[in-house]
């Protein structure tokens, strides 16, 4: 169930990217600035801060995150660093002193898109445009609204789905505001400032003393999701038979995810990172 749910989540996240692509390859779009530092404040169940450093129009990023989470009277602190370039995604847990390395999931999506014929690429973009107002988005209670709000001087597109609202820079994919309320857990990640000066080089250096190891599960998930997504979106009949492409339904009385399923969900969500840009 989790894999299928994430497959449809991946498609929904892809909709605004492809729908705005026109005739160009969607991942060739550049950010409105070459370099930047974006500061975020975390509130809700997690409290803390996040800083996103950007170079080369978003082709290279570094994200530093410090937060504390309180649940059932227990408070846990976390500190992570993520690096992303055109080929690799690195994640470091500075509390556990561990690190993982996997192929940038976006690379697999680009590979699958570039395998398509010209006609198939046009069909993928056409299907994504139709999907934005189609039955699948309705079944997920998802909606995309272009230029819905201005944040820190930038026009932002709004996506609402599955208890979450995300505002991203128009045609850029950088989230400036995320608000989520799932199973009573409220999370808010809000950009508080954008500095378009060059970020210091040291923020792109990997932490000393930690050797990242390959994460084959995240890699396999990203590769599989990229192929499944393109296979569906290139099918001219995909949206003509919405019953065969409905997301898994969850009844109100269905029990919450088991610890094992939650762990699978977390791994799968990690694999999603990078597929759709920042």
pLDDT bucket at 131, cuts 50 / 70 / 90: low
Question: Is residue 211's pLDDT more than 70?
Answer: yes
Section 208-222 average pLDDT:
88
pLDDT of residue 191: 97
pLDDT of residue 148: 93
Ordered structural domains, the chain, with CATH: 2-272 (2.50.20.10)
Asked if residue 123 lies in contact with residue 129, where contact means CB atoms within 8 angstroms, the answer is no
Q: What is the pTM of this model?
A: 0.77
Edge to edge, what strands does the sheet with 98-103 contain? 143-151, 154-161, 164-169, 175-182, 185-195, 36-44, 46-55, 60-71, 74-84, 88-93, 98-103, 213-214
Write the CB contacts of 205 (distance below 8 Å, at least 6 apart in sequence). none
pLDDT bucket at 71, cuts 50 / 70 / 90: confident
Strand partners, 90: 83, 101
Write the CB contacts of 266 (distance below 8 Å, at least 6 apart in sequence). none
For the segment 146-199, what is each residue's pLDDT rounded down to a tens digit?
A: 889 999 999 998 888 777 888 989 878 789 999 988 777 788 999 999 999 999
Q: What distance in Å separates the CA atoms of residue 115 and residue 11, rounded to the nearest whole number?
A: 18
Q: Tell me how far CA of residue 242 lies from CA of 4, 7, 127, in angstroms.
A: 15, 15, 12
The DSSP code for 242 is G
pLDDT of residue 101: 93
Q: Tell me how far CA of residue 44 lies from CA of 24, 75, 176, 179, 185, in angstroms.
A: 39, 13, 16, 9, 8
């Amino acid at each position: 169930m989790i894999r299928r749910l994430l497959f449809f989540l991946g498609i929904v996240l892809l909709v605004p990217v492809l729908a705005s692509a026109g005739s160009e390859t969607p991942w060739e779009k550049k950010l409105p600035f070459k370099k930047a530092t974006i500061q975020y404040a975390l509130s809700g169940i997690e409290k803390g801060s996040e800083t996103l450093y950007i170079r080369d129009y978003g082709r290279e990023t570094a994200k530093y995150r410090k937060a504390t989470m309180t649940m059932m009277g227990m408070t846990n602190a976390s500190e992570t660093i993520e690096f992303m370039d055109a080929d690799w995604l690195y994640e470091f847990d500075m509390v556990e002193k561990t690190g993982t390395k996997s192929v940038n999931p976006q690379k697999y999506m680009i590979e699958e898109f570039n395998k398509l014929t010209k006609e198939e690429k046009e069909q993928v973009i056409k299907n994504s445009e139709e999907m934005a107002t189609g039955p699948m988005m309705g079944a997920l209670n998802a909606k995309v609204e272009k230029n819905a709000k201005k944040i820190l001087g930038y026009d932002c597109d709004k996506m609402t789905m599955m208890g979450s609202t995300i505002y991203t820079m128009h045609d850029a994919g950088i989230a400036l505001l995320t608000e989520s309320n799932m199973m009573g857990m409220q999370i808010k990640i809000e950009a508080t400032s954008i500095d378009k000066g060059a970020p210091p080089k040291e923020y792109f250096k990997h932490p000393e003393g930690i050797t990242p190891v390959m994460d084959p599960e995240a890699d396999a998930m990203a590769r599989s999701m990229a192929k499944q997504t393109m296979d569906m979106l290139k099918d001219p009949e995909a949206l003509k038979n919405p019953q065969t492409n409905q997301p898994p339904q969850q009844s109100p009385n269905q029990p919450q995810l088991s610890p094992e399923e939650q762990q699978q969900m977390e791994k799968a969500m990690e694999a999603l990172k990078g597929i759709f840009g920042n």
